Amino acid sequence: MLNNKSALILGVSLIIGLTTLGFLLSDAVLKFKAAERTVTVKGLSERELPAGTVIWPIQFSATGNQLSELYTLLEKNNRLIQQFLTAAGIPTEEISLTAPAITDKMAHHYGGPRAEFRYSASQTVTVYSSQIKQMRSLMKRMGELGKQGIVFSAQDYQNQVQYLFTRLNEVKPEMIQEATKKAREVALKFAEDSNSQLGKIKRASQGRFSISPRDSNNPHIKKIRVVSTIEYYLSD
């Protein structure tokens, strides 16, 4: 009888213990889930700032039937362009010249009418400068060189003017701070509307900075943009 009674007491104790443990575990899970209530928000920071550097390729072309005359013409055009730039105050160290590209049309002639000129050539003078305002003014005066007989090639993808923004490291800290502040403002508003308290940051990620022209007419003015994504804890 004593053994049966002891076994009964032991069984009841185990049931009570397991039930109590179950309640404790359930309460722990509920508290854990409550602690895991979060809200994810985004904060945006934008700036419109001038580019710091311009790369201006000036490509010109020439034709002829004698190579010696063609090279002489290229040298003349090159000299006129560099004189035009230096007279406007562009330092010579900011001007570079590529080797001329010569095409022999006779080498690619497969019948049909013969071209008027056997050789065609192109060459590029490139300006790398921080004087963007001055450079843009010079671009509008290229007709002056055209009147001197220089034939400019149409700008293809490789010869487009490029404007580079070079101050990203300067503006990055301030923009990240602003994006983070705006994200927190959104999170606070969400917490207020949901009768919650905003807690600490669970995780945060800084998006990539994007740099693009403000519009097609003002490629020298850049739009800098960054979005920060932040997840906050919420509590009652």
More confident residue, 154 or 11: 154
Give tens-digit pLDDT for 115-141. 788 899 999 999 999 999 999 999 999
Distance CA 155, CA 60 (A): 10
Yes or no: say if 211 and 224 are a contact pair by the CB < 8 Å rule. Answer: yes
Residue 221 has pLDDT above 50, yes or no: yes
CB 95, CB 125: distance < 8 Å: yes
| The token pair that represents 78 in the structure block | 């090159």
pLDDT tier at 23, thresholds 50, 70, 90: very low
Kindly state the helix (H) or strand (E) to which residue 128 belongs, with its residue range: strand 119-129
Nearest to 226 by CA among 164, 163, 168, 186: 168
- Are 40 and 203 spatial neighbours (Cβ–Cβ below 8 Å)? no
Q: Are 29 and 90 in contact (CB under 8 A)?
A: no
d(CA 231, CA 23): 31
What is the overall mean pLDDT for the chain? 86
Q: Express each pLDDT in 31-68 by its tens digit.
A: 444 557 899 999 999 999 999 999 999 999 999 999 99
Round the CA-based radius of gyration of the chain to a whole number and report it: 36
Q: State residue 52's pLDDT score.
A: 96
List Cβ neighbours of 50 (8 Å cut-off, separation of 6 or more).
Answer: 132, 220, 221, 222
Three-state DSSP state, 11:
helix
Tokens standing for residue 1: 């009888």
* Alpha carbon distance 53, 86 (integer Å): 18
Distance CA 76, CA 96 (A): 16
Q: Residues 191, 37: contact at Cβ < 8 Å?
A: no
Closest CA to 90 of 151, 136, 124, 144: 136
Query: Which whole number is the average pLDDT over 196-222?
Result: 93
For the cut 70, the answer to whether the pLDDT of residue 7 exceeds it is no
Query: 186: helix, coil or strand?
Result: helix
What's the distance, Cα to Cα, between the start and end of the chain in Å? 55
Tokens representing residue 11 in the block? 């069984």
